[in-house]
Chains A and B, each alone.
Chain A
Amino acid sequence: MFHSKMFITLILLVLPVLVVVGFADILGGRLGDRIATTLFINLILVLGLQVFMGNSGILSFAHIGFMGIGAYTSGVLSMSMQMKSMALPDLYPVIQAIEITPFEGMIVGGLVAALVAAVVSYPLMRLSDAAAVITSFALLVVLHTIMVHWNEVTNGPRTLFGVQGGTTIYSSAAVATVMIVVAMMYKESRAGILLRAVRDDEVAVGAIGADISRLRWQGFVLSAFMAGVAGSVWAHFITSFSPAAFYLHETFVILGMLVIGGAATVSGAVLGTFAVTAAFEGLRSLENAINIAELFPKPLVGLTEVVLACAMIGFLILRPGGLIGNYELAALPRFRGLFRAADGGRDRPGDRSEH
């Protein structure tokens, strides 16, 4: 179940994370820290999306909604009591009395998101491809609506301020690394392999007796847990946010990262995050430079999104599988010779399968 190639892939994937941490330390200063931390949080989100979407083949738009659940859960529960009475005057007394550390908040945020996903999604897993996608989209809207209107807990559409800080570039990098391992382990576990089989041939998997709804449900719940954790980490990074952060724009960015990198593999998720973040930051600086130099009469807004949208469409036309197609990094055909030594020089007969 756990091949040696998997460990090599894991090392190859964690390496860029460490490199970025090192670079940001030496070069970046505050800006570099901020970019790197955002990169790692996006990485957790993209990995969570990959866990469900890559393995089940079903597009899920609800992912960012669970990020919001994690963010608000952890943010509100970890506030000091004084802060709570200032920022959320109408908060229920039960919640007001609880106060936990950001780390505990991260775990609780993930668990609450997973719980909501578990309850809501079980009936949805029986739906067909297109209906499932549409329903996930509607779920995102509903979660957003609840966040916007539940004034007592989320401060409504207004910004919730006063959330405890606590995320550093190191902690976010650590969580991201753990999530890379989790995503890889799920992919190679029995549940993960069966889910990928469902993606490829649903009828055949039904014929061998696997419970298809339940497999999808497991993937969805794990994916929601990861999104909740990412939301919590982000909440303690940015310390004040509003429900607008958990809606279509963020969904589009995370989806773009996964699609461009390649949804079928963990390597694709990692690569896509790094590539799109680099492109994004470059485009943002370009947009700012143009606005400062006043090349156009009106300030440019939304240029970055337009370019990203075109890039996504272009990629899907030219390389629908993303940058990395079906094989993890260590198993890519062009690198096969490099890592042959890891098998002791043999190519086992069953090794043709993708992993």
Chain B
Amino acid sequence: MLGTIIQFVIDVLSLGSLYALMALGLVIVYGILKMVNFAYGELIMVAGYSLYLLNGSPLPWLVMAVIAIVMAILTGMLTELVAFRPVREKSVTAVLITSFAFSTLLQNAALLFISPRARTVPLPDIFTRTVEIAGVIIPLRNLLTIVCAVVLLAVFALILKRTMLGIALRAAASQFTMARMLGVPANLIISVAFAISGLFAGIVAMFWLGRIGSVVPGIGLEPLLVAFIATVIGGMRSLVGAVVGGFLLALIDVSLNYLLPQNLLQFRDAFTFTMVIVLLVLRPEGLVRGPATGQRT
């Protein structure tokens, strides 16, 4: 009994950490630009394929992982240049569509230049080791995810509160025009936001690939969906909301996993979504309120 509880808690915490990081990467961009980045999932795909292409090289895995994460960061900044910057001023819908088109572009480029079939990805030994606590076997990977997420969130919170960059980011997210008037360079801040978004996506990718083991062009869809839902239920205007939303979504998912009878388990996503709709009926702006927005509702 104690073992099941521990397993449940660790499952929720590790999955929640992943989901929270994913959601955070999305909200950083949304907070400043008020625009959703549909190509966010593809950053994970890019990191995955970078790892695949580096497979077989004599480099240690950590170096390969760093290179893959850097590729994700660069792709994030490329997304901004191609899909956001030219259309930013024109219309909100246009940006949604350009980022969706860019996402399709990246996926089909992977299809075209690499392969439509799954490709295995090198993973470190530590991901396959397990640990035994109170009679249940826990993959070491889950504990690593939790630790990594906590460290990352702490560092990020510190940066936001204490450094000039963080203050500039928060100012830009709150009142973009005013921040520019006070000397915050717009394009630089936006590029930095996309770079941070890429960093989160890259790190998430490492753990996500650890769960799956291989990469396909469509690998980014599920993380993207998770980030979307977590952000919507947590509150799109708040970073804390994204984290809360991520953990809540993980709680719902894991609980349904444990509770649903076998024949309904495959519809788990439909149940999750139903609960999300119920949540949205009760609180359309999400759980955590962010700064006031001048946007239309």
Verify if A94 is at the interface (C-beta below 8 Å from B).
no
CB of A305 closer than 8 Å to a CB of B: yes
Which listed residue, A135, A303, A309, touches B104 by the CB 8 Å rule?
Answer: A309
> B221, B229, B277, B296: which contacts A120 (Cβ < 8 A)?
B277
Q: Is the interface of A mostly helix, strand, loop or mixed?
A: helix
Is the CB–CB distance between A134 and B231 below 8 Å?
Answer: yes
Q: Among A1-9, A67-75, A311-319, which stretch is in contact with chain B? A: A311-319
Q: Mark A298-315, 1 if CB is under 8 A from B, else 0.
A: 001111011001101100
8 Å CB interface, A103-134 against B: 120, 123-124, 126-131, 133-134
CB <8 Å contact, A316 and B108 = no
Return A323 CB to nearest CB of chain B, in Å: 14
| Residue from B101, B102, B111, B231 whose CB has the most chain A CB atoms within 10 Å | B101
Residues in A neighbouring B82, C-beta threshold 8 A: 313
A235 CB to nearest B CB, Å: 23
The answer to whether A306 touches B267, judged by C-beta atoms less than 8 angstroms apart, is: no
A134-B232, A135-B232, A309-B104 known; A57+B93 contact, CB < 8 A: yes
Which residues of A sit under 8 angstroms from B259, Cβ to Cβ? Answer: none
- Residues of A near B94 (CB, < 8 A) are 316, 320
Q: Which A residues are in CB contact (< 8 Å) with B236? A: 128, 130-131
0 or 1 for each of B88-118: is its CB under 8 Å from A? (1 = yes): 0011111011101110110011011000100
Q: How far apart are B70's CB and chain A's nearest CB, in angstroms?
A: 25
Q: Which of B91, B104, B266, B277 lies in contact with A320, CB distance below 8 A?
A: B91
Interface size class on chain B is 35 or more
CA of A194 to CA of B162, assembled, Å? 48
Are B101 and A309 within 8 A (Cβ)?
yes
**Hey, which chain A residues are within 8 Å of B74, CB to CB?**
none
Residue of A nearest to B112 (CB): A302
A300, B116: Cα distance in complex, Å: 11
Looking across the interface, which residue of chain B has its beta carbon closest to that of A53?
Answer: B93
As a 0/1 sequence over residues 184 to 204 of chain A, the CB contacts with chain B under 8 angstroms (1 = contact) are 000000000000000000110
CB 8 Å contact bits of B57-93 with A (1 = contact, 0 = none): 0000000000000000000000000110011001111
How many whole Å from A57's CB to the nearest CB in chain B? 7
Query: Mask for A155-176, Cβ within 8 A of B = 1, else 0?
Result: 0000000000000000000000
Q: Is the CB of A134 within 8 A of B36?
A: yes
Main SS of the interface on chain B? helix
Q: Which of B93, B101, B111, B273 contacts A256 (CB 8 A)?
A: B101
Residues from chain B with a CB closer than 8 A to the CB of A305 are 104-105, 108
- The answer, yes or no, to whether A145 is at the interface (CB within 8 Å) is yes
Complex CA distance for A145 and B34, rounded to whole angstroms: 29
A252, CB-defined interface residue at 8 Å: yes
Residues of A within 8 A of B163 (CB): none
Interface segment among B14-22, B147-155, B202-210, B279-287: the answer is B279-287
Closest to A253 in B: B104
A300 to B30: give the CA distance in the assembly, Å. 36
Query: Which residues from chain A contact B266 at a C-beta distance below 8 Å?
Result: 149
A145-B280 Cα distance, complex, nearest whole Å: 21
Q: A255 an interface residue at 8 Å Cβ cutoff?
A: yes
B108 near A302 with CB under 8 A, answer yes
A320-B232 CB under 8 A given contacts A313-B83, A313-B101: no
| Contact (Cβ within 8 A) B96 A123 | no
Please state if B105 and A306 are interface contacts (CB–CB under 8 Å).
yes
Count, chain A residues at interface, CB 8 A: 43
Q: B112 is contacted by which of A134, A300, A313 (Cβ under 8 Å)?
A: A300
A42 to B90, CA, bound (A): 28
Residue in B83, B109, B285, B296 whose CB lies within 8 Å of A306: B109
A202 touches B112 (CB 8 A): no
> What residue of chain B has the Cβ atom nearest to residue A305's Cβ?
B108
Q: Tell me which of B102, B270, B277 contacts A309 (CB under 8 A).
A: B102
What distance in Å separates the Cβ of A118 from its nearest Cβ neighbour in chain B? 14
Q: How far, in angstroms, from A317 to B81 measured CA to CA in the complex?
A: 12
A259 within 8 A of B: yes
Closest chain A residue to B110 by CB distance?
A: A302
Closest CB of chain B to A286's CB: distance in Å? 14
**How near does chain B come to A307, taking the closest CB pair, in angstroms?**
10
Q: Is B295 an interface residue (CB 8 A)?
A: yes
A278 close to B (CB within 8 Å): no
Bound Cα distance from A79 to B7, whole angstroms: 48
Say whether, besides A130-B30, A301-B111, A306-B112, A202 and B280 are in contact (CB < 8 Å): no
CA separation between A38 and B296, bound complex, in Å?
39
**B106-137 contacts to A (CB < 8 Å):** 108-109, 111-112, 116
Proximity string of chain A (132-155) to chain B, C-beta cutoff 8 Å, 1 when within and 0 when not: 011101110110011001000000
Complex: A255 Cα to B87 Cα, angstroms: 17
Q: CA of A133 to CA of B229 in the docked complex: distance in angstroms?
A: 11
- Judging by beta carbons under 8 Å apart, are A138 and B273 in contact? yes
CB distance from B80 to the nearest CB of A (A): 13
**6 extra interface residue pairs, beta carbon distance < 8 Å, beyond A142-B270, A252-B100:** A135-B232, A138-B228, A141-B269, A302-B109, A305-B108, A312-B97
Q: 21 A-B Cβ contacts within 8 A?
A: A57-B93, A127-B232, A128-B236, A129-B92, A131-B284, A133-B96, A134-B229, A135-B280, A139-B273, A142-B269, A149-B266, A202-B296, A248-B104, A252-B104, A263-B93, A301-B111, A301-B112, A303-B112, A306-B109, A316-B87, A316-B98
Q: Using CB atoms and an 8 Å cutoff, list the residues of chain B in contact with chain A.
A: 30, 34-36, 82-83, 86-87, 90-94, 96-98, 100-102, 104-105, 108-109, 111-112, 116, 221, 225, 228-229, 231-232, 236, 266-267, 269-270, 273, 276-277, 280-281, 284-286, 295-297
Nearest 6 interchain pairs by C-beta? A302-B108, A309-B105, A123-B281, A312-B101, A317-B86, A302-B111
